[in-house]
Amino acid sequence: MLGTVVNIFRVQDLRNKIVFTVALLVIYRIGFHIPVPGFDFREVMASGQQSDTPLGRAAEYMQMFTGGTLDRSSLFALGIMPYITASIILMLLGEIIPALKKLRQEGQTGYKKIQEYTRYLTVLICIVQSVMFMKLLGGYQLIYAGMEYRALFMGVVGMTAGTVFLMWLGEQIDEYGIGNGISLIIMAGIICRMPWAVYDVWQKTDFTVVAAPGRYGPAKILFLLAAFVFVVAGAILITQGQRRIPIQQAKQMRGRRMYGGQRHYLPLRVNHGGVMPIIFASSFMMFPPIILDWLANRFPESGFLMSLNDAFRGDAYTYNVLYMLLIFLFAYFWVTVQFQPKEMAKNLRDSGSFIPGLRPGRRTAEYLETVMTRITYFGAAFLSIIAVVPSVIAQSMDIPFGVTAFLGGTGLLIVVSVSLDLVQKIEANLLMRSYEGFSGSGRIKGAYA
């Protein structure tokens, strides 16, 4: 492993890419400390601690992707999420609107046009989200006296410009650095919260045999370490897991020689949707608690609304069951949108390949769809379990959610997925220059499922 790290810095081109990527991520973290003009910085941080309400929990979920900038009211408060939202919207619209679907089929030219539309939509989403955020802070009376409208204008312009700047940083990393720039920015925002979680655990550590309430004893510390290692290992396994379909290439006679006849495989990912089902389900589950909390406060005499509000609290059984069902639903929805068995069967037939024992065309498409439906069930089940692990541990062991968030959920899956992608790209650069990869037994590949 140490030799591999040394080899990375021996290759000048790879070394320059890594240094460039790290430098841009440092710039991102510097922008995290630049506040929006017109707001009382200390009061904003104090109000950001209100996480016991549904709106506060929704804000805390958004902070996971922005590195905690919402409670600091910085220029990068919105993070890169407006760009991700715009990309998802256009991706889904591409399956409905024929014009966008045609652009997707035009190759690089259509991709550039869709990217242009994504940037425009990102600016629009930034304006809407920044106005809502500024209004929320204005409701807390955190704006300096006499600067209400100027602070609102500067906040909207500053936050929109900050997100556009992050979008530009991501594109620069894609072109001159290594790895996916947008994904690395999201991962940096998540990882930067880890030292605070470790510090919180260290401050509350009690090395006595029986720890006091609210403190971490030796048994609880060992459990947290073992759970972190176990969940990360499971996340890597399910992220890399593949169902490999054997593919046989037809033999062809050209002159006096026989061509083709090779045997290879078609990899189908067990977790085809990645982290998107959890993001969709989490975003959807933000609204019922907020709406029910508002209705319960508006009609306090209604026992039904009060019971329903309690059932949709973040630690309630009903909430978590519905959350898991939505993950299953969005996992199959994402596979339906992204996985096209008819197109794959058509491409196999046109290339002269087939699945042994199956006729090319409709029968092959039906088989691929059946296999994908079955393995998606296990991928969705894993996502459902890992999504509720932080809430279950936080409730059962009296551990703050900021600590248990690193034992599962969206953030951990994003960090694992992006890290694996980065390691594979670095390894590909090393192998291209005749160096060994990170593993002495060969390249880091997907696991069989």
What does pTM read for this prediction?
0.78
Please name the residue that has the structure tokens 């694996």: 420
In angstroms, rounded to a whole number, what is the distance separating the alpha carbons of residues 361 and 342? 8
What average pLDDT does range 401-423 have in this prediction? 78
What average pLDDT does range 318-324 have in this prediction? 86
**pLDDT of 93 over the 50 cut:** yes
Six-digit token pair at 251?
């033999």
Residues 177 and 298 in one domain: no
How far, in whole angstroms, is CA 400 from its chain's centroid? 22
Residue 65 is predicted with a pLDDT of: 59
Structural domain that includes position 50 = 14-192
What average pLDDT does range 114-135 have in this prediction? 85
Residues 231 and 163 in one domain: no
- Mark residue 39 as left, alpha or beta (left: phi above 0; alpha: psi -120 to 50; beta: remaining): beta
Six-digit token pair at 79?
């993070």
Number of domains in the chain: 2
Residue 23 is predicted with a pLDDT of: 92
In angstroms, rounded to a whole number, what is the distance separating the alpha carbons of residues 25 and 238? 28
- Mark residue 146 as left, alpha or beta (left: phi above 0; alpha: psi -120 to 50; beta: remaining): left
In angstroms, rounded to a whole number, what is the distance separating the alpha carbons of residues 363 and 192? 49
Six-digit token pair at 269?
């990912």
In a domain, 1, yes or no: no
Residues 211 and 168 in one domain: no
What average pLDDT does range 361-374 have in this prediction? 90
In a domain, 4, yes or no: no
Q: Which of 102-106, 147-151, 291-295, 422-426 has the highest mean pLDDT?
A: 422-426
Q: Which residue has the higher pLDDT, 46 or 376?
A: 376
In a domain, 368, yes or no: yes
Residues 159 and 279 in one domain: no
DSSP letters along 96-162, please? T-HHHHHHHTTTHHHHHHHHHHHHHHHHHHHHHHHHHHHHHHHHTT-BPTT-HHHHHHHHHHHHHHH
Q: Which residue has the higher pLDDT, 168 or 210?
A: 168
Please name the residue that has the structure tokens 């953030």: 411
In a domain, 111, yes or no: yes
pLDDT band per the 50, 70, 90 thresholds, residue 70: low
Q: Which residue has the higher pLDDT, 48 or 167?
A: 167
Q: Of the residues 167, 192, 217, which one is the last residue of a structural domain? A: 192
CATH number at 38 reads 1.10.3370.10
Residues 366 and 412 in one domain: yes
Residues 161 and 306 in one domain: no
Residue 383 is predicted with a pLDDT of: 86
* pLDDT, tens digit, 9 for 90 and up, residues 139-169: 545 555 566 677 778 878 888 888 899 889 9
Q: List phi, psi (to 5°) of 143.
A: -85, 140
Contact between 206 and 215 under an 8 Å Cβ cutoff? The reply is: yes
In a domain, 393, yes or no: yes
Residues 399 and 425 in one domain: yes
Residues 228 and 308 in one domain: yes
Residues 184 and 228 in one domain: no
In a domain, 286, yes or no: yes
pLDDT band per the 50, 70, 90 thresholds, residue 49: very low
Six-digit token pair at 415?
């960090």
Taking CA atoms, 23 is separated from 18, 20, 83, 183, 409, in Å, by: 9, 5, 22, 16, 28
